[in-house]
């Protein structure tokens, strides 16, 4: 009795420990998911704004804000630049430089004095709200010309471009190290009201007295058309990168005007491709993607492409706020910009996501000028003789459900696209965070891996458990299970550096050999049926597989022999080149076939082991009863064992699917890491797991890319959870259907 009571206590203790362990595992998984989700939630948190504070009560001609957004500075009519809440420090620009007009952009201040002199410099703030004025250019007045009406300037990497205008011309001067780099360039432009210079110093936007907007390409010295503007323009500003221009009108509407690059294909008989690898329609060649990536792809493919004059087109409209737009300012980072109107409202928009960050009425007077900090975390406005400041907290304005899952018209593209490209080679690069290329890449890699692994693993499991002799079972099962011990980094390394280049060379023979295998199976089985029964009965059990393998090897060898002459006859000896020239299919060395073979190799042991156990678990008496009724071993395996073991077979497939979805190293090394929307077998991909492994080391903690990658991880978990849940539901249904078995 004591021993029985002791055993019962041990059983109860074991049950408690098992329950605690199971609940603990579930709790840990849920906690991990919660942590991942908590890192992604800030992407969608609405903006928060602080209270409006009056920095100064003074007449102001230009206003700006420091890089940290903590200090505002402004230019007063006496020529002094003040900063901070009390205007502690005053710095006079130059003796006798009382400003007649001024403009400020990204820390560059351009002042036109009453005597026609133009001064350009940068404004920097120091501790205790002191101001430092760093002169960049000094343009003397030209008495022979009509009086200058205004001046504007931009600086980029040590080079300054200044523009001043009167009622007839716009004069451009370039300065380096405070010296004029060359003669002034004059552009005929009558009745100019405002001029804006792109941050890249390669474009110029002019607004005339009637509100017409024109853009001049300074590189080509030609005007570009602007399409889609429906009302008179009252204010404008270039966004970072110089490829987008924001314009406001008298009816309160705000539009984003984007440069649409155009190209010309020099060798017109060639087939051009866009950034995603698609062939460009012959009728639409002039509007193909003209990004550096797309042009590089064409040049490598032998297509000579050159740029032509771009077109400027309205690509996004924002709802009108009420009053006429009086001021627009863009930060030096991101694509957020501030807008002020004559009703006293100040709003912040993001050009990439089309998101309204904040809009409030600051004052009862019209807004004369507005400035936004480079990080878009502070706003400064001038209204009614007051300098007003307000803090804004919206660290990820470029992220929305639209930018993550819908096509977006990014800069440099010919149409809205879903693109994943998070880094570039310039400060004005526009990050692209569409998740569809990663989701499609994950599904694509999984599809090709399962296409290779499911037939091989399931048929092998069914054969080993039901048809193979004992000696073959004892050899095959441990061998396949040992495949799971091969590190995936080794598999990816071999696939990328050994298999991929050889498949590119032997593509046509490999395709012909694989296509001939089904024919070989049909021929061997037909020949087996033709053989007399006496001959078939003499063949030892299990030797049929050797005959099948021998027949397949013979047919594959014949296919390899005829592949060379056939490729020479059909494709002039180069099937890879013919794919692009004749069908427009671009072959990438690291493609879906390589991923399917390598990832399928890693998934086969998982599917095989579970499927073989499920088939072996079917009662032998049922198989023997089927054989007694006249069924062959193959018929019993297909029509009895496979349906009875279907819940286990489905579980094996779904576990393999989960392994393929979450695999990282193989797809990171063998997939080419090209995030394109192409499901074809000859193109690469970038999966969600590979994107996280590849980009998370370089992502700033708490930054937009950092949180988008965490969102990707959360979506990957959700995707795996959906697959597993669907498999469990189907498996339960199959168990109920075959409960009697």
Q: What is the pLDDT of residue 245?
A: 92
Percentage of the chain surpassing pLDDT 70?
87
Tell me how far apart the alpha carbons of residues 655 and 457 are, in angstroms, rounded to a whole number: 13
* pLDDT beyond 60 at 284: no
Structure tokens at 411: 């800069």
Q: What are phi and psi of 167, to 5 degrees?
A: -75, -5
CB half-sphere exposure, 63, CA atoms < 13 A: 33
Q: What is the pLDDT of residue 621?
A: 82
- What is the pLDDT averaged over residues 347-364? 89
* pLDDT beyond 50 at 141: yes
Beta bridge partners of 112: 101, 118
Site of tokens 């005929």:
188
Site of tokens 């503007």:
229
CATH class (in words) of the domain with range 48-402? mainly beta
- Domains in the chain: boundaries: 48-402, 436-504+587-737
Q: Do domains 48-402 and 436-504+587-737 have the same CATH topology?
A: no
Asked if residues 110 and 151 have their Cβ atoms less than 8 Å apart, the reply is yes
* pLDDT beyond 80 at 271: no
* Closest to 367 in 3D by CA, of 379, 354, 355: 379
Does domain 436-504+587-737 fall into CATH 1.10.357.10?
no
* pLDDT beyond 90 at 708: yes
* pLDDT tens-digit series, residues 165-198: 888 889 898 988 888 887 888 888 888 888 999 9
- What is the pLDDT averaged over residues 625-652? 81
- Position 712 confidence tier, pLDDT thresholds 50, 70, 90: very high
* pLDDT tens-digit series, residues 286-336: 444 555 556 655 565 556 666 667 788 888 888 766 788 889 999 888 889
Q: What is the pLDDT of residue 715?
A: 92
Structure tokens at 212: 């017409």
Q: What is the pLDDT of residue 422?
A: 84
Tell me how far apart the alpha carbons of residues 212 and 229 are, in angstroms, rounded to a whole number: 9
- Position 448 confidence tier, pLDDT thresholds 50, 70, 90: very high
* pLDDT beyond 80 at 150: yes
Tell me how far apart the alpha carbons of residues 644 and 686 are, in angstroms, rounded to a whole number: 38
Q: What is the pLDDT of residue 706?
A: 92
Question: How do 305-318 and 226-227 pair as beta strands?
Answer: parallel
Q: What are phi and psi of 649, to 5 degrees?
A: -65, -40
- What is the pLDDT averaged over residues 561-590? 75
């Amino acid at each position: 009795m004591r021993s029985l009571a002791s055993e019962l206590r041990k059983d109860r203790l074991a049950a408690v420990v098992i329950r605690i362990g199971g609940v603990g595992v579930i709790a840990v998984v849920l906690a991990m998911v919660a942590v991942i989700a908590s890192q992604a939630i800030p992407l969608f948190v609405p903006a928060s704004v602080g209270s409006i504070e009056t920095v100064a009560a003074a007449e102001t001609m230009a206003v700006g804000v420091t890089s940290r957004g903590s200090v505002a500075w402004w230019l007063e009519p006496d020529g002094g630049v003040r900063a901070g809440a009390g205007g502690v420090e005053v710095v006079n620009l130059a003796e006798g430089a009382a400003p007649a007009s001024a403009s400020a952009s990204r820390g560059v201040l351009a002042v036109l004095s009453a005597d026609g002199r133009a001064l350009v410099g940068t404004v920097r703030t120091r501790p205790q709200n002191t101001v430092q004025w760093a002169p960049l250019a000094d343009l003397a007045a030209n008495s022979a010309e009509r009086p200058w009406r205004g001046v504007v300037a931009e600086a980029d990497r040590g080079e300054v471009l200044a523009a001043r205008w009167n009622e007839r011309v716009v004069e451009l001067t370039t300065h380096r190290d405070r010296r004029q780099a060359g003669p002034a360039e004059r552009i005929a432009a009558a009745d100019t009201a405002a001029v804006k210079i792109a941050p890249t110093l390669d474009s110029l936007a002019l607004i005339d007295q009637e509100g017409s907007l024109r853009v001049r390409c300074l590189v080509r010295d030609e005007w570009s058309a602007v399409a889609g503007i429906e009302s008179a323009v009252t204010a404008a500003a270039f966004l970072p990168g110089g490829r987008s221009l924001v314009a406001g009108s008298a009816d309160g509407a705000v539009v984003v005007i984007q440069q649409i690059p155009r190209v010309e294909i020099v060798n017109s008989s060639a087939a051009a491709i866009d950034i995603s690898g698609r062939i460009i329609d012959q009728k639409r060649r002039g509007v193909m993607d003209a990004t550096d990536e797309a042009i590089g792809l064409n040049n490598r493919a032998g297509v000579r492409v050159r740029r032509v004059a771009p077109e400027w087109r309205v690509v996004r409209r924002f709802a009108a706020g009420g009053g006429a737009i009086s001021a627009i300012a863009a930060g030096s980072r991101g694509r957020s910009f501030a807008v002020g109107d004559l009703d006293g409202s100040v709003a912040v928009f993001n050009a990439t996501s089309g998101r309204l960050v904040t809009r409030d009425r600051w004052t009862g007077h019209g807004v004369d000028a507005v400035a936004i900090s480079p990080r878009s975390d502070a706003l400064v406005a001038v209204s009614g003789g007051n300098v007003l400041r307000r803090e804004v907290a919206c660290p990820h304005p470029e992220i929305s459900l639209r930018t993550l899952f819908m096509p977006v018209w990014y800069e440099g593209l010919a149409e809205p696209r879903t693109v994943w490209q998070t880094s570039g080679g310039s400060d004005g690069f526009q990050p692209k965070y569409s998740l569809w290329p990663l989701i499609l890449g994950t599904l694509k890699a999984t599809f090709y891996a399962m296409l290779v692994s499911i037939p091989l693993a399931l048929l092998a499991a069914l054969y080993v458990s039901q048809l193979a002799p004992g000696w073959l079972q004892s050899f095959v099962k441990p061998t396949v299970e040992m495949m799971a011990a091969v590190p995936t980094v080794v598999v990816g390394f071999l696939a990328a550096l050994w298999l991929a280049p050889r498949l590119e060379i032997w593509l046509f023979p490999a395709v012909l050999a694989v296509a001939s295998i089904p024919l070989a199976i049909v021929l061997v089985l037909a020949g087996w049926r033709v053989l007399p029964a006496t001959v078939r009965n003499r063949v030892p059990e299990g030797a049929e597989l050797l005959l099948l393998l021998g027949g397949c090897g013979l047919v594959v060898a014949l296919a390899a022999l005829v592949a060379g002459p056939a490729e020479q006859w059909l494709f002039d000896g180069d099937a890879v080149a013919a794919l692009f020239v004749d069908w427009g299919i671009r072959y990438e060395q690291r493609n879906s076939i390589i991923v399917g073979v390598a990832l399928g190799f890693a998934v086969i042991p998982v599917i095989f082991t579970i499927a073989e156990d499920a088939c072996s678990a079917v009662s032998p008496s049922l198989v023997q009863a089927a054989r007694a009724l006249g069924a062959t071993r193959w018929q019993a395996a297909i029509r009895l064992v496979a349906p009875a073991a279907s819940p286990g077979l489905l579980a094996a497939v779904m576990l393999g699917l989960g392994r393929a979805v979450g695999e990282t190293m193989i797809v990171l090394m063998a997939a080419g890491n090209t995030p394109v929307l192409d499901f074809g077998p000859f193109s690469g991909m970038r999966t969600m797991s590979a994107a996280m492994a590849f980009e998370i080391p370089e992502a700033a903690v708490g930054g937009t890319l950092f949180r988008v990658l965490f969102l990707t991880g959360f979506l990957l978990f959700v995707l795996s959870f959906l697959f597993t849940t669907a498999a469990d539901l189907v498996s339960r249904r199959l168990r109920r259907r075959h409960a009697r078995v």
